[in-house]
Amino acid sequence: MAASTKLLALCTAAVGAVYAGGYVYTQPSAQASGVTPQSSVGGNPSSSPSPSSSPTPSSSSGSAPSSSSGSASSPAAAKVTYRDGTYTGSGSNVYGTLSVKLTVSGGKISSVKITSYNMHYPSSFIYPQIAHEVIQMQTYRVYNITGATASSYNFAEAVYYALQKAKA
């Protein structure tokens, strides 16, 4: 009987640790959803994504370096300005590819649109939520959408490469 009590206590502690870890891990994204947009995007997304982490885009050719010195939850930390214009970028991994067209106006990201999408799940899993986040936070370092992690990474990678072309 003592062994079953110890097992119950161990399982309870493990479940509590996983729950607490998940809460701590997703807390910054919950706070980021209350951030005031830096440009008008026509309102918040109709459904709130369940972000899981800040991506570091990667592809089969290597890893893309970080372009901002701040955290993804602090849009004020990214003080990068970009040349006005329209730029393209692509992201790929073993699950597929996607491309974006990114528009910069007044030195800031004003729109991001998916121009091609060849992934396992439909683009509606990530778009337009993740595009709103890019515009709000003015960075490619956005939160993953749970259930669409590979698509989120590809989107962030595509935005990263478009922003590299737009650097002033």
Quick one: CA torsion of 131, 88, 98, 39, rounded to 10 degrees? 0
Tell me the C-alpha distance between 129 and 52, whole Å: 14
CATH of domain 33-166: 3.90.1010.20
Residue-averaged pLDDT of the chain: 74
- Cβ within 8 Å of residue 134, ≥6 positions away: 109, 112, 140, 142, 159
Per-residue pLDDT of 73-89, as tens digits, reads 444 444 678 999 999 99
> Percentage of residues in the chain with pLDDT exceeding 70?
64
Beta carbons of 108 and 86 less than 8 angstroms apart: no
State the pLDDT at residue 137: 93
Q: For residue 42, give the amino acid letter.
A: G
Spatial neighbors of 88 by CB under 8 A, at least 6 apart, are: 99, 100, 101, 102, 115, 162, 165
